[in-house]
């Protein structure tokens, strides 16, 4: 029996839309860390297992559940059964951290909520449970009940340079299943002759510090933390050599950092270039002649750029002050270097009007001329707990009363309430935005992607 079972929850709707080839890296990171320090765990991924299959497999003394706003029901069900079987139930992840208080107040099946990095919290908890001690006191990055109080422990960010290489052969992970699912993806045009997988080397973004950053961003990390370029080189090489991967989606939010890229380039010169192409994220503000030239030398095939809006006023209000000139220049540089583009937009940003949506649509059309485009992602904004727009919603008494003490939401209702209060789109802004988004996405013949950050 494993000491810990780590579960990724999914709901049916999400499982259909999700990229099944995406390995649950956050859980793989955790499981590898636990194993390095002597604790065996197992991952149960709801992308391949039904809720019933997951609950039948529950046997571990500690069950850790990762969920998002679309899979809360599934989390509740799994937590209930795990609790009935006598496990200590811990939930965590992007959605859990900002909702810790509400989760602990309302769901008695949950014993604790991991806040941010879960590595040390889970390890310390496991060591205690192994000795028959159930106390959360003194464990970092955790919230728990103490009588009627909710206690939040000290928050410590883990140093990524100390982490082991994430082991894709950890119990519960069958990489072939993930890799084979790449050709079923419905959120990216499938590439030919590709064995693809995902990775990430960095957490956070230098622009999300304090209350700064994009209005819609619900990233729980503040600032940017990186693995070293050597760790990245070794992990890419491991994926290539062990799994024959030739295309890596590196989902680090801020992959483009000149000093880090220079170090990676030195490793390419010293140990040889990697035989895999990369798709990375880049911010327009980080795309310049120098970074594009390094991207090219590092084998970057495609860059995903969050452009969000074609209206400079909207970009400024929403914490992403970029000009159209900067956007066009960045896209032209990528195009000139033969790097492909995935551009992403969010409809329904604060102060959105029909005219600003038009500007966005027109900019998207314009930049298509400057760079080979792989796909454009159109999304209607989804206010998520932890984002600045969620805080702004909670400043409105009526919305605070409706949502402030809850952790379960009707996502569409939240979107409608937000749009009514923060956009200038007339009486049925929600329908206008979803229809526009569906139409724009349908032009590409690829199903609409749910927007979860
Ligand atoms: S959306 Fe991206 S660029 Fe904006 S703050 Fe979040 S991580 Fe940074």
Q: Is the pLDDT at 70 greater than 50, yes or no?
A: yes
| Closest approach atom of ligand 1 to CA 320 | 4
Q: Is the pLDDT at 5 greater than 50, yes or no?
A: yes
Predicted local distance difference test score (pLDDT) of residue 29 = 98
Please tell me the distance between residue 208's alpha carbon and the centre of ligand 1 in angstroms: 6
Q: Is the pLDDT at 27 greater than 80, yes or no?
A: yes
What pLDDT band is residue 436 in, cutting at 50, 70 and 90? Answer: very high
Reduced to 3 DSSP states, what percent helix, strand and coil does the chain have, rounded to the nearest 5? 40, 20, 40
Predicted local distance difference test score (pLDDT) of residue 450 = 43
Predicted local distance difference test score (pLDDT) of residue 12 = 57
Domains of the chain: 4-152 (3.40.50.280), 186-442 (3.80.30.20)
Average pLDDT over residues 93-99: 93
Average pLDDT over residues 185-199: 80
Pocket-testing residue among 204, 205, 216, ligand 1, by greatest number of atoms within 8 A of Cβ: 205
What pLDDT band is residue 451 in, cutting at 50, 70 and 90? Answer: very low
Give the contacts of 288 (CB within 8 A, at least 6 positions apart).
330, 333
325 with 361: CB under 8 angstroms?
no
Residues in the chain: 453
Please tell me the distance between residue 320's alpha carbon and the centre of ligand 1 in angstroms: 8
**Which residue is closest in CA terms to ligand 1's atom 7?**
205
Average pLDDT over residues 24-34: 98
Mind listing the pLDDT tens digit for each residue in 104-143? 999 999 999 999 999 999 999 999 999 999 999 999 999 9
Q: Which has the minimum average pLDDT: 206-215, 246-255, 360-369?
A: 206-215
Predicted local distance difference test score (pLDDT) of residue 16 = 52
Q: What is the DSSP string of 212-236?
A: -S-TT------EEEE--HHHHHHHH
253 CB under 6 A from ligand 1?
yes
Give the contacts of 270 (CB within 8 A, at least 6 positions apart).
none
213 CB under 6 A from ligand 1?
yes
Please tell me the distance between residue 107's alpha carbon and the centre of ligand 1 in angstroms: 31
257 CB under 6 A from ligand 1?
no
Average pLDDT over residues 345-366: 98
Please tell me the distance between residue 209's alpha carbon and the centre of ligand 1 in angstroms: 10
The whole-angstrom separation of Cα 288 and Cα 286 is 6
Ranges of H-type helices in 276-428: 289-297, 312-317, 324-336, 354-367, 388-394, 397-403, 411-422
What pLDDT band is residue 452 in, cutting at 50, 70 and 90? Answer: very low
422 with 389: CB under 8 angstroms?
yes
Ranges of H-type helices in 248-288: 258-271
103 CB under 6 A from ligand 1?
no
Pocket-testing residue among 207, 307, 452, ligand 1, by greatest number of atoms within 8 A of Cβ: 207
Q: Is the pLDDT at 188 greater than 90, yes or no?
A: no
Predicted local distance difference test score (pLDDT) of residue 192 = 75
Predicted local distance difference test score (pLDDT) of residue 321 = 96
Please tell me the distance between residue 214's alpha carbon and the centre of ligand 1 in angstroms: 6
Q: Is the pLDDT at 448 greater than 70, yes or no?
A: no
Predicted local distance difference test score (pLDDT) of residue 446 = 59
What pLDDT band is residue 349 in, cutting at 50, 70 and 90? Answer: very high
Predicted local distance difference test score (pLDDT) of residue 397 = 98
Q: Which has the minimum average pLDDT: 129-133, 150-154, 238-242?
A: 129-133
Please tell me the distance between residue 270's alpha carbon and the centre of ligand 1 in angstroms: 33
The whole-angstrom separation of Cα 156 and Cα 151 is 15
Q: Is the pLDDT at 345 greater than 90, yes or no?
A: yes
Question: Of 210, 204, 226, nearest to 159 (Cα)?
Answer: 226
Please tell me the distance between residue 134's alpha carbon and the centre of ligand 1 in angstroms: 38
333 with 308: CB under 8 angstroms?
no
What count of other Cβ atoms lies within 10 Å of the Cβ of residue 272? 10
219 CB under 6 A from ligand 1?
yes
Question: Of 330, 360, 358, nearest to 345 (Cα)?
Answer: 360
Q: Which residue has the tokens 């952790």?
A: 407
What pLDDT band is residue 191 in, cutting at 50, 70 and 90? Answer: confident
Q: Which has the minimum average pLDDT: 171-185, 240-254, 291-305, 415-429?
A: 171-185
Q: Is the pLDDT at 98 greater than 80, yes or no?
A: yes
């Amino acid at each position: 029996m494993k000491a810990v079972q780590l579960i990724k929850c999914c709901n049916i709707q999400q499982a259909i839309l999700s990229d099944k080839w995406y390995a649950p890296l956050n859980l793989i990171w955790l499981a590898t860390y636990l194993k390095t320090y002597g604790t065996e765990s197992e991952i149960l991924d709801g992308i391949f297992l039904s809720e019933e299959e997951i609950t039948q497999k529950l046997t571990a003394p500690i069950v850790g559940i990762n969920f998002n706003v679309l899979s809360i029901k599934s989390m509740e069900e799994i937590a209930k059964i795990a609790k009935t079987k006598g496990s200590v139930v811990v939930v965590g992840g992007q959605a859990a951290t900002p909702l810790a208080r509400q989760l602990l107040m309302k769901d008695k099946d949950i014993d604790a909520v991991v806040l941010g990095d879960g590595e040390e919290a889970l390890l310390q908890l496991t060591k205690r449970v192994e000795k028959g001690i159930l106390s959360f006191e003194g464990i970092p990055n955790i919230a728990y009940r103490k009588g009627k109080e909710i206690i939040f422990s000290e928050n410590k960010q883990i140093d990524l340079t100390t982490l082991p290489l994430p082991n894709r052969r950890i119990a519960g992970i069958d990489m072939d299943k993930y890799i084979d699912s790449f050709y079923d993806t419905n959120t990216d045009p499938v590439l030919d002759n590709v064995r693809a997988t995902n990775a990430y080397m960095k957490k956070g973004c230098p622009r999300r510090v304090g209350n700064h950053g994009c209005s819609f961003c619900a990233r729980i990390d503040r600032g940017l933390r990186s693995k070293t370029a050597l760790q990245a080189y070794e992990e890419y090489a491991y994926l290539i050599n062990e799994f024959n991967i030739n295309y890596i989606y590196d989902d680090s939010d801020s992959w483009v950092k000149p000093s880090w890229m220079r170090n990676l380039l030195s490793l390419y010169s010293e140990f040889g270039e990697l035989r895999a192409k990369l798709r990375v994220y880049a911010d327009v503000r980080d795309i310049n002649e120098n970074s594009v030239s390094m991207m090219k030398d590092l084998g970057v095939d495609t860059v995903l750029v969050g452009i969000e809006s074609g209206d400079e006023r909207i970009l400024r209000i929403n914490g992403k002050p970029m000009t159209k000139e900067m956007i066009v220049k960045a896209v032209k540089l990528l195009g000139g270097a033969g790097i492909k583009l995935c551009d992403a937009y969010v409809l329904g940003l604060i102060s959105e009007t029909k005219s600003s949506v038009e500007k966005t649509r027109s900019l998207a059309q314009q930049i298509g001329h400057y760079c080979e485009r792989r796909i454009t992602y159109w999304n209607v904004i989804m206010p998520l707990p932890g984002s600045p727009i969620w805080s702004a919603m909670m400043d409105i008494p009526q919305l605070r009363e409706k949502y402030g003490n809850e952790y379960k939401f009707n996502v569409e209702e939240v979107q409608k309430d937000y749009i009514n209060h923060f956009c200038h789109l007339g009486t049925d802004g929600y329908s206008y935005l979803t229809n526009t988004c569906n139409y724009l996405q349908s032009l590409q013949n690829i199903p609409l992607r749910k927007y979860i950050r």
